Structures are given as structure tokens and as C-alpha cells.
Amino acid sequence: MAQAKTTILSPRLDAVLARRLLGQMALIRRFEEKAAEMYALGKIGGFLHLYIGQEAVAVGATSTLRPDDYAVSSYREHGHCLAKGSDPRRVMAELFGRRDGLSKGKGGSMHLFDKSVNFLGGHGIVGAHLPLAAGAGFAINYQGGDQVVLCFFGDGAVHEGEFHEAMNLVALWKLPVIYICENNRYAMGTAIHRALAQTEIWRFAETYGIHGEAVDGMDVLAVRECVGRVVERARRDKTPALIEARTYRFRGHSMRDPAGAVYRTREEVEREKQRDPIALLTARGLKDGVLSEADVRAIEQNVADAVDEAVAFAEASPEPPASFLFTDVYKD
Ligand SMILES: Cc1ncc(C[n+]2csc(CCOP(=O)(O)OP(=O)(O)O)c2C)c(N)n1
Ligand SMILES: [Mg+2]
């Protein structure tokens, strides 16, 4: 049943895990910083929503999955897609609208999709993918599998009907779906307390008789521990769960709102940046003696190289031909 939980002491960290989690978060951060640069240069068009600040949620949560488990996300999905294992070169090519992109250049930033790693997409309509996650959970049960589905979404979906319909169905039909609400306290420029009567989102689990829990979304180890527990249970007993990961986006909603400065104070943003998930894990790793300064520098260099390579790959990929307009419309 629903419960609030504050992790006092993060779980144990060894060198392999520290490098893996830090490497993934650093890759997502660098990838998106570069994507913002490419957007400013006009190489990326359309919408672009950065995940900077929230990396611990995608990385901590997906680190508990098997490769055949599923993840699905909203339009702020670069991080989830990369954390699930997609090739950064193909993600960048999709942002560039190029043929070698994950969706053949036809989807762009909000519509990454990668069957090869069971990433079931970025979705632009707020809340629309929550029932899709329930459908994926239904398919798993129907086919007798033991995979689980992680569904990431924002606090702005909670006051929509789809959230409640999906929660009811996964509870009623016992589907192995874990809903992870990334509560970054804003839906575009609207603060959560102006939109939700109940701002403790994990409490909605109680209504549907499923497990609910809040977790510090800036602490990758806390997310990993929390999601790891519910994933294990979902795999074993088909029990769904609702996790509220409390996090913060350091940038604005999208490139049209680069700093989010109109509806948040500079002090608030600066205060939240003190809890940068990458800095927190780095400090923890150094303190525990499982990371060295040299390890951190090597990780930074590796991700910078990988992102440069992704940009070169995207630049070299051709535009999709006009005939692509008529492909992938219907399933064969
Ligand atoms: C059904 C629907 N209504 C409105 C929008 C416009 N819209 C795009 S993002 C957004 C805010 C969503 O905020 P949240 O769910 O908290 O996600 P975050 O951007 O914070 O990651 C809105 C209202 C939309 N895409 N879909
Ligand atoms: Mg939000």
C-alpha cells in the first residue's frame, strides 16, 4: 500500500556501479548540452525539451531493468532513450531529422522510438502514453512473459483523466507496470500547487490500492534502490506501483523558454542546482573511495568524444527522401 519513504542512507556503491551510473548521467548531460548548441545553430528544428537536472531518475530507474524490459516516456525523453541503451549517434541523427535517426528522421526530438532496446517512444501528448504502458503490460501478461514496463511522465499528467484510467486498469488487471512521475514542480510555467489539489503525487496510489512511494529524484542510488524493489515485485507478482521522483529541471520547459526565468526565481534555481545529481554522485563516489579524480576526468572525456561522434554521424546522414512520407504509416 502507499507509503512515503525518505531514504536516509543511500545503498552501497562499488566502483563498477559508480562508473556506470556516472557515465550514463554524464552522457545524457553532455548530449543535451550539445543538442542545445546545435539547436541554436539551426541544425535541429521543431521542439526540444531538455532533461538537464533530472538525469538521476532515468538512469537510476533503468539501471534496474533487464534488456527485454520496456520503457516509455513523454516528449522529455532523450535521457530515458539513452539510458535504455539507444545509440547516441542515432538519437542525435533523429534530432537532426536525418535518415539514420531512430525514427528515420520523421519523428524528431519528441518521437524517439527504438525497438532494439524496447524503448516504446517519446510521446508529445501529455498523459497519452500512460494507457499505452498499461497496454504493454497487458501484452506481457497475455504472452506469459515476466518483463516489466517503466512509464515516465511529468507532474502535468496527473490531473488528466488518462492518469487515473491507466492507474485503475493496471491495478484491476494486475499489470507489471511501474509509473514513475518525475515531479519537477512545473508543467510548462504552471507551478504544481496551482494545478493539483493533492501535490503529494505518490498518494494517488492509495486510491487504486497499489504501492506508492516518493523518492529523492536527485539521488541516483535512492532511485535505483526504490525502483529496483518495485521492479522485482512487479516481475514476481505482477504488482504495479506509482513512484513519485522529486526532481527539478535546471533549464526551461523547451528552447522557447530557455531558462524558465519568468515563473521561477533565480534563487530557487540556484538552490536546486546545489543538488545536481551528477555532482552528488561524484561527491559520494570520491568520498567512498570508489571513484578517483582521474576516473571522473576519463568519464567526461569519453562522453565528450561519444557526443562529438554523434554529431558527426548526424551531420553525415542524409535527409529522408520525400517518399518516406508514405512509409511506416500502416503496419505491414
Ligand atoms: C494533452 C496535452 N495538453 C497540453 C499539452 C501542452 N503541453 C506540452 S508540455 C506541457 C506541460 C507538461 O508538464 P509535465 O507533465 O509536468 O512535464 P515536464 O514538462 O515538466 O517534463 C503541456 C501542458 C500537450 N502536449 N498535451
Ligand atoms: Mg513537470
Span 223-244, pLDDT tens digits: 999 999 999 999 999 999 999 9
pLDDT of residue 12: 79
pLDDT of residue 332: 73
pLDDT of residue 8: 41
Separation of CA 310 and ligand 1 centre (Å): 28
Q: Is the pLDDT of residue 9 over 90?
A: no
The DSSP code sequence of 175-205 is: --EEEEEEE-SEETTEEGGGT-S---GGGHH
pLDDT of residue 3: 52
Q: Is the pLDDT of residue 6 over 50?
A: no
Q: How many CA atoms lie within 13 A of 165 on its CB side?
A: 12
- Kindly provide the b/e burial profile for residues 184-206, where b requires at least 16 CB atoms within 10 angstroms of the residue's own CB: bbbbeeeebeeebeebebbbbbe
C-alpha–C-alpha distance, residues 174 and 171, integer Å? 5
Q: Is the pLDDT of residue 202 over 50?
A: yes
Separation of CA 55 and ligand 1 centre (Å): 19
Average pLDDT over every residue of 209-215:
98
Q: Is the pLDDT of residue 219 over 80?
A: yes
pLDDT of residue 11: 67
* Residues within 6 Å of ligand 1 by CB: 76, 124-126, 154-157, 184, 186-188, 253
Q: Using an 8 Å Cβ cutoff, are 243 and 202 in contact?
A: yes
Q: Is the pLDDT of residue 326 over 60?
A: yes
Superfamily of domain 15-314: Thiamin diphosphate (ThDP)-binding fold, Pyr/PP domains (3.40.50.970)
pLDDT of residue 258: 81
Q: Which residue has the cell 530507474?
A: 61
Residue nearest to atom 21 of ligand 1 (CA): 154
pLDDT of residue 210: 98
Cell numbers placing 96: 537532426
Size of the chain, expressed as the number of residues it contains = 332
Average pLDDT over every residue of 209-213:
98
Ligand of minimum distance to the alpha carbon of 253: 1
Which helix or strand (DSSP H or E) is residue 245 part of? strand 241-246
* 108: three-class secondary structure by DSSP: coil
Mutate to test the pocket of ligand 1, among 125, 186, 188 (most ligand atoms within 8 A of CB): 188
Cell numbers placing 167: 492507474
C-alpha–C-alpha distance, residues 40 and 38, integer Å? 5
pLDDT of residue 2: 53
The pLDDT confidence band at residue 260, using thresholds 50, 70 and 90, is confident
Which long-range contacts link 43-48 to residues 24+ away (Cβ below 8 Å)? 43/96, 43/314, 43/315, 44/95, 44/96, 44/97, 44/109, 45/97, 45/108, 46/97, 46/108, 46/109, 46/110, 47/75, 47/108, 47/109, 47/110, 47/124, 47/254, 47/255, 48/95, 48/109, 48/254, 48/255
Q: Assign residue 127 a region (left: φ > 0; alpha: ψ between -120 and 50; beta: otherwise).
A: left
Residue nearest to atom 8 of ligand 1 (CA): 126
Q: Is the pLDDT of residue 5 over 70?
A: no
